[in-house]
Chain A
């Protein structure tokens, strides 16, 4: 990791940014999509996150871990995007897909369909959780990070991370059961 930071710090601005994307672009894009959920327009979201990273990159002095900084930026952009989407994301599908003539649901192979359905159920149950709980659960369950890694990434104390995880799992389970009619 230190080498990566050194590489990032060594070049010109444009080269540093290119190097940053080369090293962390996939990770940041995956965070963006996972935090954003299936309702988010992946391409738009990733583009927005990358643009904010580019714009703020000069502010990053390399004092902290680059991944922590990147995650912080990603988290903020996704949170703001989700807030906007909640209000009228559903409308865009209606208005815009009609214009493009693209059918709203593409025909997927059955396995993809199952995954897509499972993803939708997972994210539906996440709704109503606070951003901190939601993000902790996504990082733990989907990104498969340990508590320590989440603490490092989010800048939270380890104890805080575990409290969030426990509460998040509890709320998630309750909501999942409600949605699925299990209680």
Chain B
């Protein structure tokens, strides 16, 4: 056994009972050390694996730059966090501006005030965007909002402030418009809702417990919120991060009972996730017909369809339909030859790269 240079025990101060932490008994300390030791001694990747990976990477970059470039695009696509938040902001703000200008007589001027001044502190309180869930399709959510709920949504960033000011400058409301009565003050409410949901989304990956705390507050404060679809995705993501698959499925079952009401933009994502979880939970009798329906409505070669295909493959395997399982895996490869699971599916099917 390799000798560790950190032989010191886990310090007892870590287990402060007054802070609600477990007491670090000598037994617990010994167990922790033993587990760490076992992890240190566990076999790592083989030399062969490393050599093969290196060789393949060099080949891809040197001999097949187009493949490497294609894969880099694929890799970039699978890094959704910043894209998602940026896209959300980029889409939400112009749509919010447009709706505000259309629905509210002095919408633009008040929006400019809001963006540049009143909510600056709120903006500073938000954590940096970090989103591992698929991009919430914000436009359709916004489109489905009642007219009285014109969103001003995302907290502003520098360039967006500039953009809003530019728009404000170009489209000053006319005197006639400004004399009309102001609409109900829903912007603050929506801004507040967007702030809470953004916070939950940002926390969902790295601090899922924190995200769930934020979402508990969200659901109590905005039971019929305009962004509840996004909140639902964040909650499910957080629960999956914690390994709480059963809880996530229960939650999704609840949303499904209501027909994913008010979640137009995210319903597809939520439905497919529910079906995946049903497949994993062995509820295949129930899931298979739903998967058929879902697959018939999903665009060929789309990301969601790929996931649904694998869920159906899982269910077919679960119900003893080995041929159906293989057929779905083959279909996955046909539709998504560079999909996120393509390499594993190829290996499973014994198909060459």
> What is A's interface to B at a CB cutoff of 8 Å?
13-14, 17-18, 21-22, 25-26, 29-30, 32-34, 41-44, 46-55, 77, 80, 83-84, 86-88, 90-92, 94-100, 112, 114-116, 118-119, 121-122, 124, 127-128, 130-131, 140-142, 144, 146, 166, 169-170, 173-174, 176-178, 182-183
Contacts and interface: CB of A to CB of B under 8 A. Distances in A.
B340 A17 contact: no
B61 interface: yes
Contact of B79 (A26, A80, A96, A177): A80
Contact of A96 (B4, B78, B81, B344): B344
A51 B35 contact: no
Given A17-B61, A29-B45, A116-B42, A92 B35 contact: no
B45 A144 contact: no
27 contacts: A17-B57, A26-B44, A29-B45, A29-B53, A33-B45, A43-B45, A46-B49, A51-B61, A54-B58, A55-B72, A80-B79, A84-B340, A90-B280, A94-B317, A95-B325, A96-B348, A99-B317, A112-B43, A115-B38, A118-B42, A119-B42, A127-B243, A141-B6, A142-B36, A144-B4, A174-B21, A178-B22
B22 to A, nearest CB: 4
Nearest to B68: A55
A32 B325 CA distance: 31
A87 to B, nearest CB: 6
A95 B313 contact: yes
B208 interface: yes
B61 to A, nearest CB: 4
Given A99-B313, A118-B38, A127-B241, A18 B58 contact: yes
Contacts of B102: none
B49 A94 contact: no
Contact of A99 (B34, B43, B311, B349): B349
Interface in B140-183: none
A50 B50 CA distance: 9
Given A91-B314, A95-B329, 16 more contacts: A21-B58, A22-B54, A25-B51, A47-B56, A51-B71, A80-B75, A95-B279, A96-B341, A114-B38, A119-B39, A127-B242, A127-B243, A128-B241, A140-B6, A141-B36, A182-B28
Contacts of B58: 14, 17-18, 21, 54
Contacts of B326: 99
Contacts of B71: 51
Contact of A47 (B41, B57, B280): B57
Most buried by A among B79, B328, B344, B350: B344
Interface string B320-353: 0010011011000000000011011101111000
A92 B307 CA distance: 10
B329 A115 contact: no
A144 B242 CA distance: 27
A183 B24 CA distance: 11
Interface of B: 4-6, 10-11, 14-15, 20-22, 24, 28, 32, 34-36, 38-45, 47, 49-54, 56-58, 60-62, 68, 71-72, 75, 78-81, 132-133, 205-209, 237, 240-243, 245, 273, 276, 279-280, 307, 310-311, 313-314, 317-318, 322, 325-326, 328-329, 340-341, 343-345, 347-350
Contacts of A177: 21-22, 28
A32 B45 contact: yes
Given A43-B49, A141-B6, A50 B325 contact: no
A173 B45 contact: no
B14 A173 contact: yes
A26 B5 CA distance: 20
- 9 closest residue pairs by CB, A with B: A98-B317, A118-B38, A177-B22, A83-B132, A21-B54, A95-B314, A50-B57, A100-B348, A94-B314
B77 to A, nearest CB: 11
Contacts of A83: 80-81, 132, 205
Contacts of A97: 348
Contacts of A131: 206
Contacts of B54: 18, 21-22, 25, 50
B38 A88 contact: no
A83 B280 CA distance: 18
Contacts of A119: 38-39, 42
Nearest to B15: A173
